[in-house]
Structure 1
Amino acid sequence: MYIFAYLRASTREQDAKRAKNRLQQFVTERGHRIASWYIENVSGASLQRPELMRLLENAAPGDAILIEQVDRLSRLDDDGWKLLKELISSKSISIISLDLPTSYVALENHRGDEFTAAMLRAINSMMLDMLAAIARKDYQDRRRRQSEGIVKAVEGGKFKGRQPNILMHKNVIKLRLHNGMSIRETASICGISERQVIRITQRHLSNSDPEGKGVDDEANSI
């Protein structure tokens, strides 16, 4: 049996590798090794997860997926979770989650007691479904509270939306308008797209020239 560790965080600002030491210690204490790591920053509410799909492609019957918590594997709705479970079970892959002790049975040898093994698998499947449902509800609750907070902030005049990177905007204007660099050169230096350079410059010119003179020429100058 190969053990494949899966680490996930929702955004690039979060550290997907945060639980790596915990997973490593878990398998080491039980006399096993992690064959490979699959790490990605993507929402658990979506099945569009390249690393998870790559893990499932590489795994063979009898292998196991190791996760820190069930919500690292799924914050999917009922249909999404059902599909993911089918993908996993179709290859006879076990799920081992640190927050679900009944899942540890995958690391144990119950060949001499098939009844016990079957019972533990059934219990583990039920617990996985329950924790996946809890993870989904937590996701929905957080999204609802976030939406309610934004509505309240808007009503109170406190929500301004996503704020621009002022320093980056100043650099774009300086390079583009003061130093005469091309849109392509400016985008390369600032690490942004050419479209962003055009948008920032147009906004600056519009604010400086309320009648909008020269804006079209600026957008066409690469």
Structure 2
Amino acid sequence: MARIGYARVSTVDQDADIQIDKLKTEGCEVIRTEKVSGASRAGRVELETIIQFLRPGDELVVTRLDRLGRDTRDVLNVVHECEQRGAYVTVLDPHVSTRGEMGHVILTVLGMVAQMERRFIKERQREGIVRAKEEGRYKGGKRRLDHEAIRTMKANGLSPSEIAKQVGCSRMQVYRVLSAG
């Protein structure tokens, strides 16, 4: 039985150090980390790797449920896939585990709250953008990645995985930049 930690942050300018420290304190032997949005499971390679390698009795540990995902269906699918492998999911804050039946109910409710929170965030963001445009202050979001550098690295023969490591982003972000042309 292994305790496997999963830490996720949404953007390259955030770091997962606090999550990693908590997971280490909880006794996670392996901790996988990625910088990718939790809005969907698309591009979450580290999470998929963990799920594929889970064995019966293993435990996937996250610090908060929103680290697993912000969509109720995605969260429940992750829990289901872990259970299909005979593994459990544990959330540290608030402490909930799928080892007991009540844990499933609580995780479902928390998943719905995380999804609702994401919708509220998006709604406030849209309202702020509309207001900023009306006041002539909106200039659009700033690019976090150097698209030209990514294209140059690809032209020089680097793989998307190698580019992602050098730039500090997910492979999916590299593919998006390259497909945007």
Shorter-chain TM-score tier: 0.7 to 0.9
CA distance in 2, matches of 1:73, 1:37: 14
Spell out, residue by residue over 1:16-73, the C-alpha distance to the aligned partner (whole angstroms, 9 max, x if none). 233111221233xxxxxx2211100111111121000000011101100111001101
Q: Secondary structure at the match of 1:125?
A: helix
CA distance in 2, matches of 1:96, 1:130: 15
Contact 2:4 2:60 in 1 (8 A): yes
- Structure 1 partner of 2:61: 66
| 1:1-222 equivalences in 2 (<5 Å) | 1-27=1-27, 34-48=28-42, 49-76=44-71, 78-103=72-97, 121-162=100-141, 191=149, 193=151
CA distance in 2, matches of 1:70, 1:164: 28
Contact 2:38 2:69 in 1 (8 A): yes
Contact 2:23 2:63 in 1 (8 A): yes
Higher relative CO (CA 8 A, sep ≥ 6), structure 1 or 2? 2
Q: Which runs of 4+ in 1 moved over 3 A?
A: 162-165, 191-194
Contact 1:60 1:91 in 2 (8 A): yes
Deviation at 1:6, TM superposition (A): 0.2
Higher Cα Rg, which structure: 1
CA distance in 1, matches of 2:39, 2:96: 24
Percentage of matched positions with identical amino acids: 29
Q: Secondary structure at the match of 1:18?
A: helix
CA distance in 1, matches of 2:88, 2:61: 9
CA distance in 2, matches of 1:164, 1:79: 30
* TM-score, length basis structure 1: 0.61
Give the AA of the match of 1:42. Answer: V
* TM-score, length basis structure 2: 0.74
Deviation at 1:102, TM superposition (A): 4.0
CA distance in 2, matches of 1:53, 1:8: 13
